Amino acid sequence: MLFNSVEFWFFLPIVWLVYFVWPLKSRWVWLLFASYYFYSFWKLEFAGLMLFTSFLDWFAAKQIDKSDIKWKRLSWLWIAILSDIGMLFLFKYFNFALGDSNLAKSMYQSQWTAWIIELGKYTIPAGISFYTFQSISYVVDVYRGDETPEKSLPKFLLYVSFFPQLVAGPIERFGKLHSQLFTNYSPKWEDVRNGLRLLIFGLFLKVAIADNLAGVVDEFYANPSKYNLLSTWVSAFLFTFQVYLDFFGYSLLAQGAALLFGIHLMDNFNKPFLAKSIPEFWHRWHISLSTWFRDYVFIPVGGNKRGPVVLAFAVMLVFFTSGLWHGANITMIYFGLSQGFLYLFDRFIFKNIQIQSVVWERFKQVKTGLFFMITLVFFRSGTIEQAKLVYKQMLGSNLGIENIQVGLLIWLFLIVGVVLDNNIMKERADSWLGKLPTYVRWSLYIFFIGSIAMFGGAVNHPFVYFQF
Amino acid sequence: MKTIIKNVVSRLILVLVILIGFNVLYKKEFYDADVQKYSRVKSRIDSAFQYGDIVYLGESSNTSYNPWTDTLKESISDFLQLYLPGKRIEAVTHESYHPGLFRQMLNLHPNNRGLFEFMAMHQDQTIVLGVNIRTCGPTAVFSGNEASNQQEALFYSKRPSLLTRLFMSLKYYDHRDALEMERLKFQWWRSVDISGKGMDTFRISNKYKTAKRWIDDLASDQRPELPVQVKNMADAYVKEFAFLLDDNNVRVQDLKEIVEICNKLSVNLIFHILPPNIHHTEGLFGNQLKQYLDYNYWFLKKRFANWGVTVVDNYNLPEANEKVSRFTDQWYPTEHYDAAVRKAIAKSLVPVIVEEKSQLKDIFPKRNNEPNFSIKMPYSDSLIGVWRRLKRLN
């Protein structure tokens, strides 16, 4: 079930109403039931897979906690990590790794293994990358002694499957989510009101802006070579905001849905296009994933404390893995690596240029946004050949003559969304809306509702990050 | 708790009022443009139901013709109009349409009372619906185009227009994407038993338990002397025709619902079974594949008889299969016919529609009503002959 589906908008109020009449102490049981229903609505088999992964991590963490012998603790840690990664590999990367090899062909010939090829080729269990990372963070934290393991399996299952953040994050840490899920806190009107505000603004960003942009970008990428120079750049620009508003909108919807139950999820975005360098950009973009990589990959391999060579290695490793995390495609690896190189360029070279000027500060912001926009071509292209073609066109060769058609309304929505987010809202949307005079706030609500209902994007697109 | 519920309900009412206002605005200013953009057939359906004595619902078989050999371009429904000049024939035709979409189209029938209409109209009408056996198979059911068809079909409804628009934005239709459909198709070929085991009234004899085994076997035959074009064609024929219908088939269920809806709307309904390319099917596989066509035909006929629907049976239409060239697609299984077959199908419909048999007069359009065989086309017959010889088919 996706947040931009009719089913979800029936599901959410029902779950919410039952939650309120449910006995306070065991409300989490209802949330667990609802979360598994939410996930299995999409495919029942995948709920079983999530259950299995969660059980394994819960059990491994218990064994780690029980033992004082280092090798035993380490063995359980690696059993958990390897089984999580193995599962991820099987469903997400197996086909990519096999390619058109004979093994792939013979697996497809067999009645017993053909389904693995089919599944990996065409469908990935929703949110597998998100909940796997969330689950891994728990086991590692227990191993490090940062968390005490959860004794109750059902409670751990809820931590992994809590429906607002299940399919596309934010990737929450055990301590933060656990302390909220099981404290018998009953949501206040303030929580509910803020939750509703985030829901409406998130839906506006996703349905009215990102989905409309998706229609234009899809049209360009269906046949890039027929478009001219300006259209190529415009499509790259629009895709940048499609990805951003799609995922930012989704994150707000997740936060809004969780707030209805009194749960505060972390902010996943913090005005990334105001960043003045790529390192800063990644502190503001998909924050839950960036911090995950920082804590579980970057710091363990050396971080920034062991000199520039180790730092460069750690950065490239993080971005390579992050690229691969985004999708089993060579283009995603290129995307990750290009981000890594730009990160190092900004970290070691660009950082040393110090000019005290407002113009320079603005230039740095534009440069960072531009760098990101250009590398996103890898992210959007289906193949390296297509990415090369688009880059060539951006440089002025192999151009077609057609103009990309972007409706006036799409520009209007985009400007409203971006200006609101970057320039007007100095805090999160719910707090900002709450401080406005009632008539202004309701005028904005009417605008959001009208835009969603009358002009929502018609293209058949799930959330961009849903596929990860 | 009570305060929260009260606050939420009061805001919901306000939002509902806003939405009702937007519905009026949308209907007046934007709806027609959206219909043009997202559901181009909708206005055609409205006018067909409004003005037609006979409404012909069909897919590409109605209008397809071979631009090189067909000297007559008239569709089946055009020919029907020539046969019945006293009746107004309206056609709704679109590529890859199927009973699931025709069923939804009936929502727009004037005899169907809308949500905010006080009473329904009563219009005497006959609906002729082309039944294409191939559209019941996995290749058609799991077609990658289905999401866009279903998006169009959202507009085949009398619900408030804004709700339709909102449903489109929130993807409230079967929006499984092309990849997911591809997976389901492969899963079907791999897992559904086509050996006909356990069937008591109809015997199927085939060494392949699943379509996938059959397809794999075809692919593994590496003999270079087998014509590649025919190999591809054989693969396509198995994928399109090797299935056995049952009552759980989604198209069968749609057809049944169409009968029920038409009964409810007091509309005459005629199913006419379109002829498949039996000539090529037999040419490629003898009876091994044709038996599936025969079974599915038999199954549908039996169901149609049970449901009490009028049937025009063109499955074995002589004009369609006496010469292979009468199918305009030579290398892929379709139900696209040349003018002679389209005319013959139309002619077969006439006696069922008109009560007085004396009304039936044959038509002789001024132009040549036969295909122009003097134009040489790369017909598949000769290569099928090579294939048959090498495959040692009887």
Residue A234 domain-assigned (yes or no): no
Tens of pLDDT along A31-57? 999 999 999 987 788 888 899 999 999
- Residue B126 to residue B131: CA distance in whole angstroms: 16
Looking at the structure, tell me whether residues A24 and A167 fall in a common domain: yes
Tens of pLDDT along A95-125? 777 777 777 777 776 767 777 777 666 667 8
B1 contact A CB<8A: yes
How close is the nearest chain B Cα to the Cα of A7, in Å? 8
How close is the nearest chain A Cα to the Cα of B4, in Å? 5
Looking at the structure, tell me whether residues A182 and A192 fall in a common domain: no
Can you give the pLDDT at residue A88?
84
Question: Among A355, A373, A404, which residue terminates a domain?
Answer: A404
The set of residues, in sequence order, having a beta carbon less than 8 Å from that of B346 and lying 6+ positions away, is B76, B77, B79, B80, B82, B83
Average pLDDT for A184-200: 90
Interface contact flag, A207 B169, Cβ < 8 Å: yes
Can you give the pLDDT at residue A467?
56
Query: Is residue B361 predicted with pLDDT exceeding 70?
Result: no
Looking up tokens 């055990």 gives A174
Query: Looking at the partner chain, which of A118, A452, A453 has a beta carbon nearest the beta carbon of B183?
Result: A118
Residue A31 domain-assigned (yes or no): yes
Q: Sign (positive/negative) of CA torsion A167, A173, A174, A177?
A: negative
Interface contact flag, B26 A111, Cβ < 8 Å: no
Can you give the pLDDT at residue B359?
55
Catalytic choice (A264, A283, A286, A326): A326
- A143-148's contacts with Cβ under 8 Å and 24+ in sequence apart are A143/A61, A143/A64, A143/A73, A143/A74, A143/A77, A146/A175, A147/A174, A147/A175, A148/A65
Query: Is residue A361 predicted with pLDDT exceeding 60?
Result: yes
Can you give the pLDDT at residue A41?
85
How close is the nearest chain A Cα to the Cα of B62, in Å? 29
- Residue B209 to residue B190: CA distance in whole angstroms: 9
Residue A237 domain-assigned (yes or no): no
Q: How many domains are there within chain B? A: 1
Average pLDDT for A404-408: 85
- Residue A245 to residue A206: CA distance in whole angstroms: 6
The number of residues making up chain A comes to 468
Between B377 and B342, the more confident residue is B342
The set of residues, in sequence order, having a beta carbon less than 8 Å from that of B339 and lying 6+ positions away, is B65, B70, B71, B72, B73, B74, B369, B370, B371
Tens of pLDDT along A310-348? 888 999 999 998 888 887 788 989 999 999 999 998 888
Residue A22 domain-assigned (yes or no): yes
Can you give the pLDDT at residue A260?
93
Looking at the structure, tell me whether residues A321 and A433 fall in a common domain: no
Query: Is residue B127 predicted with pLDDT exceeding 80?
Result: yes
Residue B245 domain-assigned (yes or no): yes
Domain that holds residue B274: 39-137+193-391
Residues of A in contact with B168 (CB under 8 A): 456, 458
Looking at the structure, tell me whether residues A280 and A256 fall in a common domain: no
Interface contact flag, A456 B11, Cβ < 8 Å: no
Query: Is residue B366 predicted with pLDDT exceeding 60?
Result: no
Confidence class of residue A76 from pLDDT cuts 50, 70 and 90? very high
Q: Which of B2, B169, B220 to mutate to test the interface with A (most CBs of A within 10 A)?
A: B169
Residue A244 domain-assigned (yes or no): no
Confidence class of residue A264 from pLDDT cuts 50, 70 and 90? very high
Residue B131 domain-assigned (yes or no): yes
Can you give the pLDDT at residue B325?
65
Average pLDDT for A279-301: 91
Q: Is A326 one of the annotated active-site residues of the chain?
A: yes
Query: Is residue B323 predicted with pLDDT exceeding 70?
Result: no
Average pLDDT for A171-177: 89
Quick count: other Cβ atoms within 10 Å of Cβ A395? 11
Can you give the pLDDT at residue A324?
84
Query: Is residue B369 predicted with pLDDT exceeding 70?
Result: no
Quick count: other Cβ atoms within 10 Å of Cβ A164? 26
What is the DSSP-derived secondary structure letter of residue B55? E
Can you give the pLDDT at residue B355?
67
Between B71 and B104, the more confident residue is B104
Residues of B in contact with A446 (CB under 8 A): 18
Tens of pLDDT along B234-276? 999 999 999 999 999 999 999 999 999 999 988 999 999 999 9
Query: Is residue B115 predicted with pLDDT exceeding 70?
Result: no
Quick count: other Cβ atoms within 10 Å of Cβ B241? 23
Interface contact flag, B183 A111, Cβ < 8 Å: no
Residues of B in contact with A192 (CB under 8 A): 4, 7-8
Interface contact flag, A456 B166, Cβ < 8 Å: yes
Confidence class of residue B373 from pLDDT cuts 50, 70 and 90? low
- Residue A288 to residue A28: CA distance in whole angstroms: 23
Q: How many domains are there within chain A? A: 3
- Residue B273 — φ and ψ, nearest 5°? -80, 120
Query: Is residue B364 predicted with pLDDT exceeding 80?
Result: no
Interface contact flag, A458 B175, Cβ < 8 Å: no
Residue A241 domain-assigned (yes or no): no
CATH number for B264? 3.40.50.1110
Looking at the structure, tell me whether residues A376 and A310 fall in a common domain: yes
| Nearest Cα residue to B285 out of B218, B223, B366 | B218
Residues of B in contact with A9 (CB under 8 A): 170
B166 contact A CB<8A: yes
Contact B365/B81 with Cβ under 8 angstroms? no
Tens of pLDDT along B80-100? 998 888 889 999 998 889 999
Residues 132-161 of B with CB under 8 A from A: 147-148, 151
Can you give the pLDDT at residue A362?
87
- Residue A397 — φ and ψ, nearest 5°? -110, 165
Looking up tokens 């379509």 gives B211
Residue A87 domain-assigned (yes or no): yes
Residue A171 domain-assigned (yes or no): yes
- Residue A227 — φ and ψ, nearest 5°? -100, 155
Helices (H) and strands (E) in chain B, counts: 17, 5
Between B163 and B112, the more confident residue is B163
Q: Which of A77-86, A318-327, A428-437 has the highest mean pLDDT?
A: A77-86
Average pLDDT for A274-299: 91
Query: Is residue A395 predicted with pLDDT exceeding 80?
Result: yes
Residues of A in contact with B187 (CB under 8 A): 115, 118
How close is the nearest chain A Cα to the Cα of B148, in Å? 8
Residues 354-373 of B with CB under 8 A from A: none
Looking at the structure, tell me whether residues A283 and A152 fall in a common domain: no
Tens of pLDDT along A136-157? 999 999 998 888 899 999 999 9
- Residue B364 to residue B340: CA distance in whole angstroms: 11
- Residue A246 to residue A265: CA distance in whole angstroms: 18
Question: Among A404, A435, A460, which residue terminates a domain?
Answer: A404
Residue B97 domain-assigned (yes or no): yes
Average pLDDT for B163-174: 92
How close is the nearest chain B Cα to the Cα of A261, in Å? 12
B220 contact A CB<8A: no
Looking at the structure, tell me whether residues A387 and A467 fall in a common domain: no
Query: Is residue A383 predicted with pLDDT exceeding 60?
Result: yes
Residues of B in contact with A123 (CB under 8 A): 179-180, 183
Looking at the structure, tell me whether residues A224 and A155 fall in a common domain: no
Q: What is the full DSSP assignment across A251-286?
A: HHHHHHHHHTTT--PPP--S-GGG-SSHHHHHHHSS
Residues of A in contact with B182 (CB under 8 A): 122
B165 contact A CB<8A: yes
What is the pairing mode between strands B126-131 and B54-58? parallel
Domain that holds residue A356: 270-404
Between B137 and A301, the more confident residue is B137
Looking at the structure, tell me whether residues A253 and A366 fall in a common domain: no
- A with B: how many residue pairs have Cβ under 8 Å apart? 89
Interface contact flag, A187 B4, Cβ < 8 Å: yes
Tens of pLDDT along B7-21? 888 888 998 999 999
Looking at the structure, tell me whether residues A49 and A76 fall in a common domain: yes
Query: Is residue B120 predicted with pLDDT exceeding 80?
Result: no
Q: Which residue type sits at A159? A: Y
Can you give the pLDDT at residue B5?
83
Looking at the structure, tell me whether residues A422 and A375 fall in a common domain: no
Can you give the pLDDT at residue B381?
74
Can you give the pLDDT at residue A263?
93
Looking at the structure, tell me whether residues A77 and A118 fall in a common domain: yes
